[in-house]
Structure 1
Amino acid sequence: MLLSAALALSAMASCSQDDHVPAPAQTYVLVHGAWQAPYVWDEVRDQLVSKGHKVMLVELPGHGSDKTAPHLLSLDVYRDKVIESITSAGGPVILVGHSMGGMVVTHVAEKVPASIRKLIYIGAFVPTSGQALVEIADPGSQLGPNLVQSADQLTLDVKNEKLTDLFIPDGSQAAKDKVIAQYRAEPAIPFTNKVTVTSGAFGSVEKAYIKTLRDIVISPALQDQMIAAAGIKAVYEVNAGHSPFLSQPAAVADLFLKLGM
């Protein structure tokens, strides 16, 4: 009887101690979408870092301060840039892709599946094998009518007066001003590049999807369709427009932390 009681007390003490063990530190690699740049992740990064995690922000070529000419860009170029960051991390990472970045991280996961602990899509495209972004039809999107192609067909612009309405209708004025100030025309060629995925590589990576419920760039209906086609079972939601990391950074950081446990 005394032995049983002692064992029970020991087990309780062990459980109590385990309850206070913090989640292990993770490395998050965050990939922005089209017409944006690494700055969009700044507040989310700060919150993750404050919890003891490492965060790497990828600047896709032709975005942010990178001056690579549009005619030199492709989805392969984007993929290889992300793989550079993953390699420098020195271990499996949590890879996150937003919007067009979903095409990129899918391409990456097919190439280096063992380097990815978990793949997270947030308001992002998830292609089926052999599919290019331009081939993913979304009747619920309001983006298409507000795009303007350059004369040389190498870049795409979003009509200035519609930019924040599309990408961050629910954000603060400061966040909207940042989107406008950081805006650049988007390289067009990667939109036409196809992604090939296999069950043995991409299919082996654990995945989660965070739906953006008020999104008018990638509609919730299309998100549901892509989630089902990819067989993603871990599905979460944020009641935000297309850029929740700008409008609701705390909610996004909390979801990343939850998924990283």
Structure 2
Amino acid sequence: MDIILVPGLWLDASSWDPVLHALKTAGHRPFAMTMPGVGAPASESSEIGMADWVDAVVNRIDEAGEPVVLVGHSGGGNVVWGAADARPEQVRRVVFVDTVPPPGGAISDFTVVDGVIPFPGWDFFPDEDVSDLDAETRARTAPLAQSVPARVPTDEIVLTRESRHGIPVTLLMGGLDQQQFESQVDGWGPYGEEYRAIADATVVKIGSGHWPQYSAPERLSELLVEAVGR
């Protein structure tokens, strides 16, 4: 099975390195992506938006020539859901890593510096997201984070095909199991409605913060292999 892995904001393909061995050992063909404009100055990335990120994944789906599994971490969830909407018949499953299927809209708004959005540092994020990242891990991974094009987090994705709701979905959530997630999701407005519209959705608790590829790689690897094999 071809598995296309899309990182969240500020991360590149190398962020998926901790899970690649397990996926390959299970007989899959993982392809970790670095999204257009990551790490590039504004002079090279100012015209790059969310549609370009979605198109990059769609192109990879088309190159595969057979149904694929899409995996998106954090803001990468918007990207893979947009790609799944564009190619619903070519996507076997979408796996969201500590994020949820968006109903459209944008990721979030961050401070722009010199025309790009730099990584704000681990201290920027709430404790529940980063408490399981020890000092060594933070020091090792922070230099790997790169700027993203200024438009990407605030560009809205366009979803047009209701058939995306027929794609099986797995949500690997850092701190929520299925019961806890179900008890909260209806209070999330359009996000709850999008989740409820999906015919086959499974929620599994990782037991981690927001970056399990760094803090719980073995657990994430195990759950990815399980999700892909469903």
- Relative to the length of structure 2, the TM-score reads 0.81
Whole-angstrom distance in 2 between the partners of 1:102 and 1:67:
24
Q: Paired residue for 1:86?
A: 61
3-state DSSP of counterpart to 1:194: coil
Shift of 1:161: 6.3
Structure 2 residue 131 is the aligned partner of structure 1 residue 156: no
**Structure 2 gaps, min length 5:** none
3-state SS of paired residue (1:190): coil
Secondary structure of the equivalent of 1:148? coil
In structure 2, which of residues 164, 173, 183 is the aligned counterpart of residue 211 of structure 1?
173
**1:85 CA displacement:** 2.0
Q: Which of these residues, 104, 107, 113, is aligned with residue 133 of structure 1?
A: 107
Residues 1:251 and 2:226 aligned together: no
Contact preservation (8 Å) 1:109, 1:201: no
Partner of 2:205: 237
Instruction: Decide whether aligned partners of structure 1 residues 164 and 190 sit closer, same or farther in structure 2, where only a CA change above 3 A counts.
Output: closer
* Cα offset, 1:124, TM superposition: 2.1
Conserved 8 A contact 2:122-2:142: no
- Distance in 2 (CA, whole Å) between partners of 1:84 and 1:205 is 19
- Bigger RCO (CA 8 Å, 6+ sep): 2
Contact 1:121/1:208, CA 8 A, preserved across alignment: yes
SS at match of 1:192: coil
In structure 2, the partner of 1:105 is 80
Q: What residue in structure 2 maps to residue 35 of structure 1? A: 10
CA distance in 1, matches of 2:14, 2:125: 16
By how many angstroms is 1:163 displaced?
Answer: 5.5
Secondary structure in structure 1 of the residue aligned to 2:89:
helix
Q: Shift in Å at residue 103 of structure 1?
A: 0.9
Question: In 2 relative to 1, CA 127–43 (structure 1 residues): closer, same or farther, beyond 3 Å?
Answer: same
The count of corresponding residues between Structure 1 and Structure 2 is 216
Cα distance in 1, alignment partners of residues 107 and 66 from structure 2: 30
- Give the AA of the match of 1:196: V
CA RMSD of aligned residues (A): 2.8
CA gap 1:55/1:229 in 2 versus in 1, 3 angstroms: same
Contact 1:149 1:156 in 2 (8 A): yes
Contact 2:41 2:116 in 1 (8 A): no
Tell me the CA shift for residue 228 of structure 1. Answer: 5.5
The CA deviation at 1:67 is: 9.3
Distance 1:228 1:195 in 2: 17
Shift of 1:227: 5.3
2:157 to 159, 179, 195: 195
Offset of 1:89 from its aligned partner? 2.2
User: Unpaired segments of 5 or more residues in structure 1?
Assistant: 1-25, 135-143, 215-219
Rg larger in structure: 1
